[in-house]
């Protein structure tokens, strides 16, 4: 048999090839099993998230208000005053807006672009009722001399780019001014930056509190004999399985001014009966409730790691002369770091996007960035801004998720 | 955890301190749930322990809030409970079917791009709910499914499948593939093999994943708030509205029922986990 001769399977095909075919078949089979879910998620979930991006940079508000004007402006080069055609189109668009009583929105939007635009537009709204047909350019320019200034027309044109990142700037309390420079908004109006830093702060401290509380009990659960630890495990798992709203409701009862926590403080003499502290509708409420609600997510990964650490390691350390403290910090603690990483990142990711609990117990000073997104989705209907904020939050979470994946691996997530 | 006799006093103190801290944390975890029980039987309208309740006076307790929950006028809970169960059951079935199939594919060693696909399949669990809510709302509004049961069910399938994928993949990690090969070599077709061999063995994983999906759907409020119309209200949405407006004892009665439900789910999940551990123990 020469070396080139290949081993053949029973049907005469070289074995190597038939193996490759079988592998390919298996590959396709495995892929086909995943396909339904993958397609479903891509269509209903991944693409809509990507679509949020196009929504967030696509600002059609003013374009939709002045459709004729922008059509007429297409030929205008922006160097000198626009032609009669543009003036006429603007007059017609603006007339509709005034009649529908939506001109105020346009005035505000254009005033962002060019200071003082509002008064010019308001004057036009009053005067244009007496306009005669034809030669609108002259008539408009007669209303206010600023209409002769080409800057105002440029401001209108500038307001309708095909895409804009202004929503992202607004998300960090900045905007681009008339000269196109990016500047910060006035100090007393920087609400979003406060929200971002508060969200990070709450997420960080909730993670820290969860870690400090979860570590001892996870250790206890992992070292106790099975029959006791199973019983105590229920204390962790029951809150885990209980509805989030039920747990939030119980905190609302406990933390109210006449609630049990305040009763207890009065009883031990920490505060007097007539000046019970407000513990709800502020940051304290958010901290306490979120810590309790997210605690199981820290305990479970810690527990599953600690369970695998053999107790003989600590005994060996001690028999070699280490004090219990040294043995703990040199042997036990380093071994639990994977669990700490998993727990902390899980809790942090969950906390950073929390919505329900802060909305109910947080009040005005305890709400987070998610509440702002929901507010713009439901109340102001500024969906492109909500999308922009959502994507900024998502980017942060994905970065953390990526770190999580590097440290722990997504497929190592364990539940229960 | 008894300490050995030779333990030095300051370690002994440290140990008791540690047990005390653990006790406090367990109390912090579990106690809030038990405040709801007695208050839901309050005869008064206030959400505080009345003097009568502290004296255990039987007149201070009543089941009026439970009656109000079931028979109350223009009461939303009946419709909400019906909707919640319909949505959760269909969402669970959908999640189980899609999730189990995907997990079977993912745990095959021939699967290409495993990491990337796993990341996509798990993403609804990692992405903050508010963002999922916004994205799913945009999709459902475009597809004309906003404010329909179908829309909410699909949304909950999205949120529920990651749990099924994770639990079933975990169960399959201890799965001995030679038994399915044995079945095939004995002439069973793939469908039969799955129904008779694979499914019974991975069933604990499938059911516990299904439980997660059920609870996720049953407890979900953020996405439903975006999607639901008046006819699609669910228990969490009603609780959310109730908690925002006024905390009434009727809500506590509902909350008590939900806690009982979660105790049942916890027991089922625990039994399944033990069974699955036993089964996997045999395989090793």
Listed by start position, the domains of chain B span 9-65, 81-283
Token digits for B200?
Answer: 């019974």
In a domain, A166, yes or no: no
Which residues face A176 on adjacent strands? A182
Question: What percent of chain A is modeled with pLDDT above 70?
Answer: 94
In a domain, A257, yes or no: yes
Domain check: are A271 and A383 in the same one?
yes
Domain check: are A103 and A205 in the same one?
no
In a domain, A49, yes or no: yes
The label of the residue with tokens 């962002």 reads A112
In a domain, A172, yes or no: no
**pLDDT surpassing 90 at residue B88:** yes
- Band (pLDDT 50/70/90 cuts) for residue B156 is very high
pLDDT in tens, A54-85: 888 876 767 777 878 878 887 787 778 888 88
Domain check: are A71 and A135 in the same one?
yes
Domain check: are A23 and A139 in the same one?
no
Question: What percent of chain A is modeled with pLDDT above 90?
Answer: 19
| Cα distance between residue A62 and residue B25, in whole Å | 55
- Determine which helix (DSSP H) or strand (DSSP E) holds A182, and give its type and residue range: strand A182-184
Domain check: are A143 and A270 in the same one?
no
Cβ neighbours of B247 in A, within 8 Å: 249, 252-253
Cβ neighbours of A357 in B, within 8 Å: none
Question: What percent of chain B is modeled with pLDDT above 90?
Answer: 35
Please tell me if residue A401 touches chain B, with a CB cutoff of 8 Å: yes
> Which candidate from B47, B49, B215 shows the least CB-CB separation from A241?
B215
Nearest chain A Cα to B237, which residue? Answer: A245
CB contact under 8 A, B134 and A387: yes
Please tell me if residue A254 touches chain B, with a CB cutoff of 8 Å: yes
Task: Assign residue A285 the CATH number of its domain.
Answer: 1.10.3720.10
> Which candidate from A246, A295, A416 shows the least CB-CB separation from B29?
A295
What pLDDT was estimated at residue B159? 95
What pLDDT was estimated at residue B284? 38
Domain check: are A311 and A278 in the same one?
yes
In a domain, A165, yes or no: no
Domain check: are A52 and A66 in the same one?
no
In a domain, A391, yes or no: yes
- Higher model confidence: residue A251 or residue A10? A251
Angle (nearest 5°) at CA A304 between B198 and A395: 90
Nearest chain B Cα to A401, which residue? Answer: B126
Please tell me if residue A32 touches chain B, with a CB cutoff of 8 Å: yes
- Determine which helix (DSSP H) or strand (DSSP E) holds A76, and give its type and residue range: none
CB contact under 8 A, A259 and B251: no
In a domain, A170, yes or no: no
CATH code for residues B81-283: 1.10.3720.10
How much of chain B is helix, strand and coil, in % rounded to 5?
Answer: 80, 0, 20
For the residues B74-85, what does the mean pLDDT come to?
A: 86
> Which candidate from B118, B129, B255 shows the least CB-CB separation from A249?
B255
Domain check: are A330 and A375 in the same one?
yes
Please tell me if residue A410 touches chain B, with a CB cutoff of 8 Å: yes
CB pairs < 8 Å spanning A and B: 262
Cβ neighbours of A26 in B, within 8 Å: 108, 110
| Residues contacting residue A244 through CB under 8 Å, at least 6 positions apart | A293, A356, A357, B219, B221, B236
CB contact at 8 A, A339 and A306: yes
CB contact under 8 A, A27 and B111: yes
- ipTM value, please give it: 0.86
Nearest chain B Cα to A48, which residue? Answer: B135
Query: Which residue range forms the structural domain that includes residue A359?
Result: 192-412
Domain check: are A397 and A342 in the same one?
yes
Number of domains in chain A: 3
In a domain, A279, yes or no: yes
CB contact at 8 A, B211 and B269: yes
pLDDT in tens, A187-206: 777 888 889 999 999 999 99
**pLDDT surpassing 90 at residue A216:** yes
Q: How far is CA A317 from CA A323, A327, A358, B199, B267, in A?
A: 8, 6, 45, 46, 39
């Amino acid at each position: 048999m020469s070396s080139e001769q290949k081993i053949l399977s029973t049907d005469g095909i070289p074995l190597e090839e038939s193996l490759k075919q079988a592998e390919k078949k298996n590959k396709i089979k495995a892929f086909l099993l995943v396909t339904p879910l993958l397609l479903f998620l891509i269509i209903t979930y991944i693409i809509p998230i990507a679509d949020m991006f196009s929504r967030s940079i696509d600002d059609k508000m003013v374009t939709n208000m002045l459709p004729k004007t922008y059509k007429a402006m297409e030929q205008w080069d922006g160097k000198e005053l626009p032609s009669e055609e543009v003036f006429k189109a603007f007059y017609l668009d603006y007339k509709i807006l005034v009649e529908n009583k939506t001109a105020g929105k346009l005035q505000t939007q254009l005033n962002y672009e060019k200071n003082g635009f509002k008064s010019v537009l308001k004057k036009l709204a009053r005067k244009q009722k007496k306009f005669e047909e034809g030669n609108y350019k002259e008539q408009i320019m007669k209303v206010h001399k600023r209409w002769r200034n080409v800057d105002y027309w440029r401001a209108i044109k500038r307001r309708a780019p095909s895409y804009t990142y202004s929503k992202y700037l607004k998300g960090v309390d900045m905007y681009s001014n008339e000269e196109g420079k990016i500047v910060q908004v006035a100090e007393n109006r920087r609400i979003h930056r406060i929200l971002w830093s508060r969200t990070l702060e709450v997420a960080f401290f909730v993670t820290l509190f969860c870690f400090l509380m979860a570590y001892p009990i996870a250790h206890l659960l992992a070292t106790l004999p099975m029959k006791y630890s199973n019983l105590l495990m229920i204390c962790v798992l029951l809150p885990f399985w209980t509805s989030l709203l039920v747990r939030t409701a119980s905190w609302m009862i406990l933390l109210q001014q006449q609630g049990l926590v305040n009763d207890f403080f009065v009883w031990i003499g920490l505060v007097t009966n007539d000046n019970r502290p407000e513990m709800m509708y502020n940051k304290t409420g958010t901290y306490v409730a979120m810590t309790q609600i997210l605690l199981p997510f820290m305990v479970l990964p810690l527990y599953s790691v600690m369970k695998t650490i053999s107790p003989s390691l600590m005994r060996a350390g001690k028999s070699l002369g280490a004090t219990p403290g040294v043995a703990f910090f040199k042997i036990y603690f380093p071994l639990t770091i994977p669990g700490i990483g998993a727990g902390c990142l899980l809790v942090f990711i969950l906390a950073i996007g929390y919505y329900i609990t802060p909305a109910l117990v947080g009040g005005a000073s305890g709400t987070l960035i998610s509440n702002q997104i929901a507010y713009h989705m439901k109340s102001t209907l500024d969906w492109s801004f909500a999308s922009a904020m959502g994507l900024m939050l998502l980017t942060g979470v994905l970065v953390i998720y990526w770190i999580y994946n590097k440290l722990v691996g997504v497929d190592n997530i364990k539940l229960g | 955890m008894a300490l050995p006799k030779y333990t030095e006093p300051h370690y002994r103190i440290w140990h008791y301190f540690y047990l005390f801290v653990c006790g406090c944390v367990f109390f912090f975890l579990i106690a809030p749930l038990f405040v709801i029980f007695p208050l839901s039987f309050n005869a008064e309208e206030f959400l505080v322990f009345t003097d009568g309740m502290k004296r255990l006076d039987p007149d201070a307790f009543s089941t009026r809030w439970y009656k109000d929950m079931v028979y109350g006028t223009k009461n939303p809970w009946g419709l909400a409970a019906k909707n919640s169960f319909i949505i959760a059951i269909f969402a669970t079935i959908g999640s189980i079917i899609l999730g189990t199939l995907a997990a079977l594919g993912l745990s095959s060693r021939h699967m290409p791009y495993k990491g990337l696909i796993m990341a996509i399949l798990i993403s609804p669990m990692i992405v903050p709910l508010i963002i999922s809510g916004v994205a799913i709302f945009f999709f459902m509004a475009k597809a004309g499914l906003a404010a329909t049961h179908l829309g909410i069910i699909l949304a909950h399938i999205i949120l529920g499948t990651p749990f099924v994928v994770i639990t079933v993949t975990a169960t399959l990690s201890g799965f001995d593939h030679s038994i399915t090969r044995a079945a095939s070599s004995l002439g069973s077709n793939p469908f039969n093999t799955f129904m008779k061999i694979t499914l019974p063995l991975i069933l604990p994983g499938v059911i516990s994943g299904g439980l997660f999906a059920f609870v996720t759907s049953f407890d979900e409020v953020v996405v439903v708030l975006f999607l639901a119309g008046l006819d699609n209200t669910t228990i969490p949405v009603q609780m959310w509205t109730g908690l925002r407006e006024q905390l009434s004892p009727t809500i506590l009665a509902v909350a008590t029922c939900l806690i009982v439900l979660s105790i049942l789910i916890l027991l089922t999940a625990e039994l399944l986990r033990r069974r699955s551990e036993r089964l996997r123990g045999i395989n090793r």
